[in-house]
Each structure stands twice: as C-alpha cells, then as structure tokens.
Structure 1
Amino acid sequence: MESQKSRFSLHLPELVLVVLVVISGTMLALSSGGFILNFKNVGFTALSSVQKGIGIVTSGITGTFNAVHELARLREENAFLTEKLKNYEYFQRNNTEITNENLRLREQLGFSTKIEQRNFPAQIIGRNTDNLYSTFTINKGSRAGIKKNMPVIAIQNGQVGLVGRVISVGVETSMILPIFDEKCTVSARVQSTRDIGLVSGQGSASGMLSMRYVKKRVLDELNYGDLIVTSGENENYLRDITIGSISKITPLDYDSTLDIEVVPVIDFSRLETVIVADLKELNPNLVVNQ
C-alpha cells in the first residue's frame, strides 16, 4: 500500500514547476490581449441583446399607441361621415318632397283655371274614418267662399276624379263626405254607353264602390275597365267627372238591373289636396285655350 501512495504524490519541486507554468501562461495570455478581446465581445453581445429587446418592446408600444390613435381617428371620421350622409339624405328627401309638392300644386292650379265654375283649391288637414261615418277636413271655410253641398274633386296622377261633397262649413275649415261613405250617393253614367245609375260607397276608403239600376239589357255592351262618370243631373256635381272604372258585373236574379262594382279613380289614402267647386258662379280665373 505504501508503495502505491508514493506513486501518485508530487514532490515540492514538481509542484513549484507546475505553478510557475500556469502563472507564465496566464501572464502571456494577458500580455497578448486575448482575455480583453473576449471580455469586449461578451459585453458587446450582451449590450446588443438588451438594446434589441428594448427596441422591440419600444416598437411594440409605439405601434400599439399609433394603432389606438388611428382607430380613434377613424371612428371620429366615420361618425362625421355618417352624420353628413344623414344630412344629405334628409336634404335629398326634402328636395324630393318639395319638388313633388310643387308638381301637385302646379297640376292643381293648372286644372283650376280650366274649369268654368269658380273653385277653391284646399288642403286636407284632418281625417275621421270608421265603418259608419267617414269625413275629411279641409283648410278652407265660409271665409274663403265654401258653402254646404258644394262638390269636391281632385286631380291625382294626371287624372281628374270625384272626391265627394261638402256637408259642413266653418269659418276657416269645412268637412267633406267622400264618395266611399255609405251615405254618399251620386248620379252617374257608364261613359261608353251613357246608361245611367246611382253610385254609392261601401264604407271603406280602400274598398269598392257600387253602381246600381243599370238595366240588364246593356250587359253585353259593358266591359271591365269601362269608366263611370258623373251625370251632372240635379246640378249636384260637375258633369263627366270620372268616378272610377268597372271591375265586376253581376246580374241580379230578383231584379231587372245589374250590380256593378267600381274601382275609385282616386286613391283616398294618398289624397292630400282637393278642389271645391261652386256650380252657381263662373270661374273669374278661367283660361280659355286659343
């Protein structure tokens, strides 16, 4: 055993030699600048990594801030453009409505100067509609010259049609009984055959009218779409004003007459303006076509 231990042990001279070799190598390395260069490389690499990380974080924060700012700007711009579009659409609707109103008034004014009877253009300002009694209120009354039982007509889509008659007159307003009311009866003719009958309403503004007392003998002469016009008899209504057109013809088994269904020429749900006529006075504004 003792011989083995002495085999691996170093003597003092040998240990001193090893230490001197290590110190000499270290001094040589330091003098050549090898360690300094390595330290510089290590420091530069570490610093570069830190700077790169800071740059990435800073870029991310800046990008996020810019994105938020841009989003806010886009939202503000979108709100502004949306409001501008609403205003544009509003003005467009107003312009369209004004243009249409001007066309209606011009059409009405043109017609009111062509009829022989004195007349009063008026606007509907109220409606009272149910199954038993239906009326329109207009903005003209006795102060304007309106009288009870005056006939009321209108021009709609270029077509002149019968509306009804005045049943009540106030100072500034009047009440009209329309032809679709059950209490309204009008003497009328089939325009093509000149056969006479009575037209009455069925109580609904969107419903049909009924013409009675036309003889069965003219059944073969009648056609769907034939116009029904006022007869002008009894001086209650203007003559040959369109009431509507035939939509159905039914021979009555128990009578010698026909039951004729009539579609009104006037769309009462869209009616806004009317013309009240005075059959007893001439039109002072009459324009005679040369």
Structure 2
Amino acid sequence: MTTRRDCLKFSLAAAMAAALPPGRLFAADGASLLTRAIPSSGEQVPLVGLGSSATFSQVARSEDVSALRDVLKALVDGGGTVFDTAPSYGASEEVAGDLARELGLTDKVFWATKVNVVPRGGDKADPAAAREQIEASFRHLGKDRLDLVQVHNLADIPTQLGILKELKAEGRVRYIGVTSTSKPAYPQLIEAMENEPLDFIGVDYAIDNRDVEETILPLAQARRIGVLVYLPFGRTRLWSRIGDRPLPEWAAEFDAHSWAQFLLKFVAAHPAVTCITPATSKARNMLDNLGAARGRLPDEAQRRRMVELIDALPAAG
C-alpha cells in the first residue's frame, strides 16, 4: 500500500529530478547517506559534504547570497553535515555562519575551518594573530566549540598546530589537522602525519589526480587519521575533459546516475577517505553530489575501469 508519506517522498524526488539539467541527476531514492567513521573517535560523518571555495566563495562576495542559503539547506535536508571553509575563502565563513543561523541549522552542521596567518612570502605566524583569526571563526560560525580546525597549507605547523592542540585540550575544538593541495609539499605533509597527533588531513584527490594513493592515504589508514578530500573535480579540469560525453551505461552498476556521482564515487570508494567536500553555489548540484553517497560504491575492478575511461580522454587544454 502506498502511504501519504510515500507519495510525498516520491513527489519530492520527482521535483528534485525535474529541477536538474540533463547529466546532473539526483538519486533521490530516500536512502540514507553512506557514512564513514572519524578514525580517532569513531564518530560517523556522511561521505559527501560541501566546500566553500571557488563558486561558493564568489557568490559569498556578492550582494545576493540567496543561492548559498539554498545550498546549505539542500546539504542538511539531503542528510549532509560537513561544511569545509577557511578565513582565506573571502566572505564564505561569515556568510555561511549567518545563513545557518537564519535557517536554524548551526547545530546540525559539522563545521570544519582553518587557520593561517603566515604572511605571503614568510614562514612564521604571529601567535596572537593566529589566535584572533580562530576567535573570529568562532564568532562567524556562532559556535562555542568548533568541530574541526586545520592548519591551512601546512603553514608554520609548530606555532599554529601548537595553538590548536591547546584549544583541543581546553575542549574548544573537537578535532585538529593540517591541509595541503600541493604535491611538492607532500613530504612535509607526510612528516606532520608521522609526528603530530592529527585527527584529520585535507588533501586534493581526484580520478585523474591519484598521487595521494601511493603514500598519503595508506599512511592515514595506518596512523588512524581522517581524510577530507578537496578538488574531486580538479576544479574545472575534469568537466573540460568530459565535455558533453554521455555517462557510460555501466556506471549504473555502482549507482552513479551523473558524471558528478561517477567522479565522487571513485574517490569515496577509497577506504581512507572520510568525507569529500566539493564546492558549489547551486542547490541542484549539491543534491546531485549527495547522490554519490547513496547506493553502491565501485569495487577495485570497477575503479580500474573508471580510471581507464578518464585517462583515455584528451587532457584539458
């Protein structure tokens, strides 16, 4: 028997699907999002979240941020929680905090932000400035306790991670970590992973950018460090390579119904990955991205086939 709740669910799914352009379809089947445990605590978080660089940051600087209100609501309504931001992403952190308060979502979001006050061309952070930047994040996000703060781009780890260790010991920050999206900096990232008590790292990882599979992801598993994935679409690189090609029919074998889900599911299938945070300023894309955390993930044979498909495409110009 079809209940009223079923009717509402199917109507909502149809409305969501109708709002999406071809190739960006949301798997709105009512299934819960797949989650992964944060290794240091066992806390579960959804496999797909939201980043706030790129287009999100661009819209946050504009006068009309209504699209971002819709994106945040789509994240939480769709079962997501993780929102990754940074003071260096312009107005993103402050705007997101304000919108979450308006929507009553502040306590439903896993807030992940960063700290970096090292001047351009320098290598040392002013401790007072670092503390003030972190305090500003507390104010912007409207929280007395932040979920995650990471040292952005591995900047002056002794000073800035030292401050984060203190805040974690005081109970003001739940998790701490470091980030890097620069391959030349990977040796420094590995050193921090081997020698510091990190809960998380943030790294770049995509189907055509797999260098972290060699050492960093295995080390994260061995050291029980969570992994936030940035740039799963290679900014716009992968979209340029894919163009208007149709999604292969065999993508349905692991419940990928759009290219975005195809690309995200490849990353999500690696067991070291805790959460992927692609940025977007469009609610329909947020819903589509969340679809990657539903249904089956590709196995190793399917992942190899996915890589062969993408690697055979012309490189983005």
* Length-normalised TM-score, structure 2: 0.23
Q: Which has the higher strand share?
A: 1
Structure with greater Cα Rg? 1
TM-score by length of 1: 0.25
Q: Which is bigger in relative contact order (C-alpha 8 A, separation at least 6)?
A: 2
When you count helix as a share of all residues, which structure comes out higher?
A: 2
